Amino acid sequence: MKINKTRSISSILLIGVLLIFSGCQKNEDPLYAGFISSDARLKGSWRLVKFDGRYDQEHDGIKYGEYYKYDRSLSSTFTLSIDMTYNYYYVDNFKLFLHFDGSQEATLDVNGYVNDLPCKWNWLNDKQAIDIEYLDFINGICTEYVIEELSQESMILQGKVSEKLYDEDGDEYDVDIRLDYTFEKMD
């Protein structure tokens, strides 16, 4: 009788643990799953702490690449390198903030310049990705980002675009873009 009671309790505990962890999505911390929604974790002000961007273009057999780097823990300087041959552009004291207030509009603040147009955003792929206007402040092509992590303290977004564009003469060229953003929550 005592063994059956132990098995029953063990079975109930196992089922409870399975139910909790089966509800976890890829971007959810199991400790928060079921307790704090993705909407609640997203709401608030986020500061960019790390950014890696790559823009590759091939046109008429000529390859061109731009590489962007920012790491708040190392320096406050945002750097653009062209074809890894020289640093082309610096922005000292670079700051990017993204503010979600719970509506379908966010505010993007880059170096104190708040975008006049609200950044409309939507969840994608069962909250595994997010579509944010204007976050691609480099060339404006990428709007969809896979959510690699979304916790109460940090958010990691990854954007990729591979497409064909046309120049002013109507000639086609390839563009590949990869953008990785790491944010920390400010409030």
Q: What is the DSSP secondary-structure string of 152-178? A: SSEEEEEEEEEEEEE-TTS-EEEEEEE
For 45, half-sphere exposure in the C-beta direction (CA atoms, 13 angstrom radius) is 7
pLDDT band for 17, please (50, 70, 90 cuts).
Answer: very low
Same domain? For 128 and 63 the reply is: yes
The answer to whether residues 77 and 122 belong to one domain is yes
Pair (20, 53) in one structural domain: no
Indicate if 8 and 96 belong to the same structural domain.
Answer: no
> DSSP per residue over 15-37, as a string?
HHHHHHHHT--TTS-TTTTTTS-
pLDDT in tens, 98-152: 888 777 778 777 766 666 666 788 888 888 988 887 777 766 777 888 999 998 8
Overall pTM > 0.85: no
pLDDT band of residue 80 (cuts 50, 70, 90) is low
Q: Give domain status of residue 32, yes or no.
A: no
Alpha helices in the chain (DSSP H): 2-22, 38-42
- What is the CATH number for 177? 2.40.128.280
Q: What is the pLDDT of residue 152?
A: 87
Q: Are residues 163 and 72 in the same domain?
A: yes
Residue 31 in any domain: the answer is no
- Residue 57 or 15, more confident: 57
Q: What is the pLDDT of residues 166-183, one digit of tens each?
A: 888 888 888 888 889 999
- Poorest-pLDDT segment among 1-15, 21-35, 65-79, 111-125: 21-35
Average pLDDT over residues 89-93: 60
Q: Which residue has better confidence, 29 or 81?
A: 81
| Residue written as token pair 């691609």 | 136
Q: Which residue range(s) make up the domain with 11?
A: 1-25
The verdict on 95 and 64 lying in the same domain is yes
Structural domain count of the chain? 2
